[in-house]
């Protein structure tokens, strides 16, 4: 591109008086060289299929190395790095990429170390539970804890999960093993399990652990569908607590699990501590963005960072998603500075992606409520819904909206319930609401923000984030 500019600039830049006069020999030579170079470039462009601008292509080489130089190389490098720092699909496993959350981590460590309790970490999807437990595992291993991580799935069953977990714990730590006897301590705890076992037998075996402490992390606990699995986990917790075993469970999932877990065996209430994952504070959002800036060598304008902060509502998932799309849009425009307009471009993509994950009937049902009259109410409800379990009260929503009359908010919430968009639970007088599908609140507040933006004057600087 720069080449063509040079060529055309050269032709265009010549004064007309000089054009009329006879060109010098040096001028002619220079023109011939330029003509030849232009011809070569055209031929190259025709021959190289990757240079066809209308044809989709990967932007960087899969070997994570770039052949480009100067500005182009910085752009390519930024593109590769940003994929890693902002990609919203993967949890953070390295401390250098982990933003904020020090308070939650400290509390978690205290629960495990001082209170010797089992923990349930709960919060909405994307709030950072998996990342937190990975970082916790890292820190605990430094203090010689044996940490075993397992992720639950819809069909998880108690025996399979724990047999796999025990394969990661050496027999060396069993009380009846003589650590000086050669060979005897080479197996794992899984070797000690009978073909079939229950929570009581597992508790007995784990109570034999000595000389270390074991933390078993069961992530995505809410995905396990089997009642029996959860009942067994509750029994295991009871067993381990009764025997003062050196094994602690950390479960990560959504809030209702905590109630349910305790529901099975009410007496385990005092053996489990629930740790809600809060939303990111404003400083934590900025820290997350800064990690991306530093790693990739890009910079977010203050306006852009502020918009990301508002749109993401304290969800690290959304901070990363919006930051990712906006920085890619900036890089496509060959800029390393991310501007407010790039964030608006990202908003369109996020709305589109979120819509793809929601039952179209729900989107159709909520559509009539996205007009000017109801929009602010839906927006407030959607923001209020980012609680650890998704439940919110009308008061929560009202407090997030300056001009929403309480009676109209309640009326809209009830209408949305009838339309199947919300579910409603009434404990005595107080009603609570929850969106039927988890991605709905995100879709709605992004959607309302975007619609407001579209309705406002086109000038990027006069656009303000819906608040
Ligand atoms: N403290 C953090 N710093 C940086 N990114 C984070 C942090 N916590 C979460 N994320 C990012 O947010 C997204 C969702 O995090 P994840 O841990 O998978 O949440 P959850 O397990 O609650 O669904 C991931 O892209 C993850 O990398
Ligand atoms: Mg997770």
Q: Which of 92, 294, 438 to mutate to test the pocket of ligand 1 (most atoms within 8 A of CB)?
A: 92
Do both 156 and 227 map to the same domain?
Answer: yes
Confidence of residue 462 (pLDDT cuts 50, 70, 90): very low
With respect to residue 5, please indicate whether it lies within any of the assigned structural domains: yes
With respect to residue 55, please indicate whether it lies within any of the assigned structural domains: no
Confidence of residue 317 (pLDDT cuts 50, 70, 90): very high
Confidence (pLDDT) at 26: 63
Q: Residue 140: exposed, middle, or buried by beta-carbon count in 10 A (0-12, 13-18, 19+)?
A: buried
Q: Residue 63: exposed, middle, or buried by beta-carbon count in 10 A (0-12, 13-18, 19+)?
A: exposed
Q: Whose CA is nearest to atom 13 of ligand 1?
A: 317
Structure tokens at 320: 């990363």
Do both 178 and 206 map to the same domain?
Answer: yes
Confidence of residue 70 (pLDDT cuts 50, 70, 90): low
Report the predicted TM-score, pTM, of the whole model to 2 decimal places: 0.78
Q: Whose CA is nearest to atom 9 of ligand 1?
A: 128
Looking at ligand 1, which atom is closest to the CA of residue 99?
3
Whether the per-residue pLDDT at 411 is higher than 80: the answer is: yes
Whether the per-residue pLDDT at 8 is higher than 50: the answer is: no
Domain interval for residue 5: 1-35
Do both 193 and 242 map to the same domain?
Answer: yes
Average confidence (pLDDT) over 377-388 = 89
How many helices (H) and strands (E) the chain has is answered by 19, 9
Confidence of residue 407 (pLDDT cuts 50, 70, 90): very high
With respect to residue 343, please indicate whether it lies within any of the assigned structural domains: yes
- Tell me the CA–centroid distance for residue 279 and ligand 2, in Å: 15
Percent over 90 (pLDDT), the chain? 51
Do both 375 and 347 map to the same domain?
Answer: no
- Which residue, 355, 380, 403, sits at the end of a domain? 355
Distance, CA of 308 to CA of 288 (rounded, Å): 11
Do both 266 and 391 map to the same domain?
Answer: no
Confidence (pLDDT) at 28: 58
With respect to residue 87, please indicate whether it lies within any of the assigned structural domains: no
**What average pLDDT does the structure give for the chain?**
83
Average confidence (pLDDT) over 129-145 = 94
With respect to residue 58, please indicate whether it lies within any of the assigned structural domains: no
Q: Based on the structure, what is the number of domains in the chain?
A: 4
Q: Which of 91, 120, 152 to mutate to test the pocket of ligand 1 (most atoms within 8 A of CB)?
A: 91
Confidence of residue 174 (pLDDT cuts 50, 70, 90): confident
- Which residue, 355, 370, 402, sits at the end of a domain? 355
Confidence (pLDDT) at 433: 96
- Tell me the CA–centroid distance for residue 129 and ligand 1, in Å: 7
For ligand 1, residues with CB inside 6 Å are: 88, 90-92, 97-101, 123, 125-131, 288, 316-317, 320
Looking at ligand 1, which atom is closest to the CA of residue 321?
25
Average confidence (pLDDT) over 314-320 = 93
Q: Which of 88, 102, 126 to mutate to test the pocket of ligand 1 (most atoms within 8 A of CB)?
A: 126
Q: Are 104 and 278 in contact (CB under 8 A)?
A: yes
Do both 266 and 127 map to the same domain?
Answer: yes
- Tell me the CA–centroid distance for residue 97 and ligand 1, in Å: 10
The CATH number of the domain holding residue 381 is 1.10.10.10
Average confidence (pLDDT) over 135-151 = 93
With respect to residue 56, please indicate whether it lies within any of the assigned structural domains: no
Average confidence (pLDDT) over 59-75 = 64
Confidence of residue 269 (pLDDT cuts 50, 70, 90): confident
Do both 114 and 150 map to the same domain?
Answer: yes
Do both 126 and 168 map to the same domain?
Answer: yes
Do both 145 and 293 map to the same domain?
Answer: no
Confidence (pLDDT) at 118: 95
At CB < 8 A and 24+ separation, what contacts does 240-244 make?
240/118, 240/203, 240/206, 240/207, 241/118, 241/268, 241/271, 242/203, 243/203, 243/204, 243/207, 244/207
Do both 176 and 309 map to the same domain?
Answer: no
Whether the per-residue pLDDT at 14 is higher than 80: the answer is: no
Q: Would strands 214-219 and 146-151 be described as parallel, antiparallel, or unpaired?
A: parallel
Confidence of residue 356 (pLDDT cuts 50, 70, 90): very high
Q: What are phi and psi of 274, to 5 degrees?
A: -90, 130
Q: Which is more confidently placed, 12 or 395?
A: 395
């Amino acid at each position: 591109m720069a080449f063509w500019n040079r060529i055309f600039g050269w032709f265009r830049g010549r004064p007309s008086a000089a054009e009329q006069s006879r060109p010098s020999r040096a001028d002619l030579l220079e023109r011939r060289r330029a003509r030849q170079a232009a011809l070569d470039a055209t031929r190259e462009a025709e021959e190289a299929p990757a240079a066809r601008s209308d044809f989709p292509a990967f932007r960087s080489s899969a070997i994570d190395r770039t052949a480009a130089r100067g500005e182009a190389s910085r752009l390519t490098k930024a593109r590769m790095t940003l994929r890693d720092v902002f990609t919203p699909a993967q949890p953070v496993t390295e401390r250098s990429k982990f933003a904020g959350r020090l308070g939650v981590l400290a509390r978690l460590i205290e629960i495990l170390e001082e209170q010797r309790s089992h923990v349930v970490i709960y919060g909405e999807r994307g709030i950072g539970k998996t990342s937190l437990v990975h970082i916790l595992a890292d820190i605990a291993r430094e203090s010689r804890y044996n940490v075993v991580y397992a992720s639950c799935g819809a069909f998880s069953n108690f025996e399979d999960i724990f047999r796999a977990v025990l394969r990661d714990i050496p027999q060396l730590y069993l009380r009846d093993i003589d650590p000086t006897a050669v060979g005897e301590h080479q197996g794992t705890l899984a070797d000690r399990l009978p073909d079939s076992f229950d929570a009581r037998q597992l508790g007995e075996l784990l109570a034999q652990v000595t000389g270390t402490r074991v933390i078993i992390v069961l992530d995505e606990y809410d995905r396990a569908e089997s009642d029996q699995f959860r009942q067994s986990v509750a029994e295991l917790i009871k067993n381990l607590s009764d025997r003062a075993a050196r094994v602690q469970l950390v479960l990560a999932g959504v809030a209702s699990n905590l109630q349910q877990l305790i529901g099975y065996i009410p007496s385990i209430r005092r053996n489990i501590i629930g740790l809600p994952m809060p939303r990111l504070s404003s400083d934590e959002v900025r820290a997350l963005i800064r990690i991306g800036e530093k790693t990739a060598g890009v910079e977010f304008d203050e306006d852009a960072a502020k918009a990301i902060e508002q749109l993401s509502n304290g969800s690290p998932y959304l901070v990363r998603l919006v930051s990712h799309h906006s920085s890619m849009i900036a890089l496509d425009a060959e800029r390393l500075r991310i501007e407010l307009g790039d964030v608006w471009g990202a908003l369109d993509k996020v709305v589109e992606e979120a819509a793809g994950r929601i039952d179209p009937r729900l989107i159709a049902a909520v559509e009539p409520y996205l007009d000017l009259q109801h929009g602010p109410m839906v927006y407030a409800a959607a923001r209020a819904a980012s609680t650890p379990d998704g439940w919110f009260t009308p008061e929560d929503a009202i407090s997030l909206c300056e001009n929403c009359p309480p009676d109209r908010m309640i009326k809209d919430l009830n209408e949305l319930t009838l339309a199947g968009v919300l579910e409603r639970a009434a404990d005595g007088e107080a009603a609570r609401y929850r969106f039927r599908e988890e991605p709905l609140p995100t879709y709605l507040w992004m959607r309302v923000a975007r619609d407001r933006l579209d309705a406002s004057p086109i000038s990027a600087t006069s656009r303000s984030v819906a608040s």
